[in-house]
């Protein structure tokens, strides 16, 4: 895995040494950020189901002001810390709020402030109802003018809406799809 663009362009990240974690491909991350465009600059970003942290790190590379990584697997949280350290990006220890920093790693969505993120990217497991469950977990965290993106298996259609969030666009690449939501 490598960072596609921005300040860390071309830098490689560590991959998981265990099965069960499916990192977002470089190509799909490039598509995601091409679509988000300027919305990422100075944004408060939530990388949910963060895995390796590649999406949040890509956001930082492209000018995001702050990234919160949510990952409940302690091995993956450590991997995110290692990837941040490779790039000399300071992070608060798992479960602690940053002290003047711009990166935070959390084990869950609980305790996050409502409507506090401009961009939320969720990459839950590719199970049938995972996209709907991810939307339910994070929808209240999106700022009124924000964008929420769910990566999911292309064979599992995401919900057309969740509360006030409406599906605006879905892009498919092989077995994966990105569904973009807004208010």
Whether residue 84 lies inside any domain: the answer is yes
Whether residue 92 lies inside any domain: the answer is yes
pLDDT tens, position by position, 52-78: 999 999 999 999 999 999 998 889 999
Whether residue 16 lies inside any domain: the answer is no
- Strand ranges across the sheet with 161-162: 103-106, 66-70, 44-48, 117-122, 142-153, 176-182, 165-173, 161-162
Tokens of 81: 């810390």
H, E, C per residue of 70-89: ECCCHHHHHHHHHHHHHCCC
- CATH code where residue 30 lies: 3.40.50.150
pTM for this structure?
0.91
**The length of the chain, given as a count of residues:** 183
What is the total count of domains within the chain?
1
Give CA 140 to chain center in angstroms.
16
Whether residue 10 lies inside any domain: the answer is no
Tell me, what's the pLDDT at 1? 87
Whether residue 12 lies inside any domain: the answer is no
Domain span at residue 119?
A: 26-182
Tokens of 144: 């009124």
Distance CA 174, CA 99 (A): 41
Tell me, what's the pLDDT at 92? 59
Whether residue 1 lies inside any domain: the answer is no
Give CA 69 to chain center in angstroms.
7
Tokens of 5: 């663009």
Tokens of 18: 């265990």
Whether residue 151 lies inside any domain: the answer is yes
Q: In 3D, which of 32, 110, 108 has the Cα closest to residue 64?
A: 32
Cβ(179)–Cβ(157) below 8 Å? no
Tell me, what's the pLDDT at 6? 94
Report, as ranges of residue numbers, the positions in the chain whose pLDDT lies below 70: 92-102
Whether residue 19 lies inside any domain: the answer is no
Tell me, what's the pLDDT at 143? 95
Q: In 3D, which of 50, 85, 90, 87 has the Cα closest to residue 66?
A: 90
């Amino acid at each position: 895995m490598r960072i596609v663009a921005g300040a860390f362009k071309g830098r490689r990240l560590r991959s998981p040494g265990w099965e069960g974690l499916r990192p977002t491909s470089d190509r799909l991350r490039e598509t995601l950020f091409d679509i988000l465009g300027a919305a990422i600059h100075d944004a408060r970003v939530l990388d949910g189901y963060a895995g390796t942290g590649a999406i949040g790190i890509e956001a930082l590379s492209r000018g995001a002001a702050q990234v919160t990584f949510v990952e409940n697997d302690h091995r993956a949280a450590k991997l995110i810390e290692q990837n941040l350290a490779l790039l000399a990006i300071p992070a608060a220890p798992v479960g602690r709020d940053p002290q003047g920093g711009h990166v935070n790693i959390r084990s869950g969505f609980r305790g996050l402030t409502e409507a506090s993120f401009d961009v939320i990217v969720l990459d839950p497991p590719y199970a049938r109802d995972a996209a709907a469950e991810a939307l339910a977990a994070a929808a209240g965290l999106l700022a009124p003018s924000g964008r929420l993106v769910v990566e999911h298996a292309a064979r599992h259609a995401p919900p057309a809406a969740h509360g006030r969030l409406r599906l605006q666009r879905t892009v498919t690449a092989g077995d994966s799809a990105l569904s973009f939501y807004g208010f």
